[in-house]
Amino acid sequence: MRGWVLLSAFLLAGGFAAPALAAPVRYDYRVIHPTYGDIGTYTNVIDRVGDDTEVKSTLRIAVRLLGIVLYRQEAERTEFWRGQKLVRFDGVTVTDGKRLPVHGEAKDGVFVITTPEGTVTAPATVHPSNPWSPMVLDTGYMMSTRTGQVLPVHVSGGEVEPVALSGVTFRLHQYEVVSDKRQLVWLDDSGTPIAFRTSEHGKPVDFVLMERQQLAQRDR
């Protein structure tokens, strides 16, 4: 409940405006499943230096039933951007003990992605499926941050809609991202992702922003 009070207060105060100084900013999300409730956390730490941006993401999920863990997934991922171009991606996702590394790198006008399944070439305009900025939605191709799979996407929307998140209704810019599944992203007026929804095994899973923290330079 405290998190929802904080979220409501920030939105009423005008959203999460981008800091004037180029200090890293941390965004903490709760991961909510329609059947199992609160199942974990997701964090983006965004560090901008001039035209370069580093985005570090951490995922911690555990689905429990009667105290028994039915499913566990953890991930560490790093994106390197130059302007609006993805330069490099490195990620490792561990699902129920199975490790899946993904490496991607821009070279010779394309983006080369390497996984244990092999190497694929994607358009240079490919963006990862981590909606940390409105800019990420401006693409026709997305790479799964979990598997490295590249799919064409159609992004639409942007209008302000009433959005109910765990019983609380907000007015946010809603975007629909359609590939092999339908995903939703909700941004406030400053472009901050307040929440996003993906689908896992036919069930909607929500990532809802609970806290924003500007980190000191020494925490980099």
Domain contains 25 = no
Radius of gyration of the chain (CA): 17
How many distinct structural domains can be found in the chain? 1
Structure tokens, 114? 């390497």
Give residue 167's pLDDT: 79
**Amino acid sitting at position 119:** T
* CA–CA separation, 57 and 68 (whole Å): 26
Domain contains 160 = yes
Domain contains 130 = yes
Domain contains 73 = yes
Comparing CA positions, the residue from 158, 190, 188 lying closest to residue 170 is 188
Domain contains 107 = yes
The vertex-62 CA angle with 57 and 68, nearest 5°, equals 165
Domain contains 24 = no
Domain contains 27 = no
pLDDT by 10s per residue, the chain, length 220: 334 434 544 444 444 444 444 689 999 999 999 999 999 999 999 999 999 999 999 999 999 988 899 999 999 999 999 999 999 999 999 999 999 999 999 999 999 999 999 999 999 999 999 999 999 999 999 999 999 999 999 999 999 999 988 778 999 999 999 998 899 999 999 999 999 999 887 889 999 999 999 887 644 4
Domain contains 21 = no
Count of positions (residues) in the chain: 220
Instruction: Give residue 146's domain range.
Output: 2-14+35-215
Give residue 164's pLDDT: 87
Give residue 217's pLDDT: 66
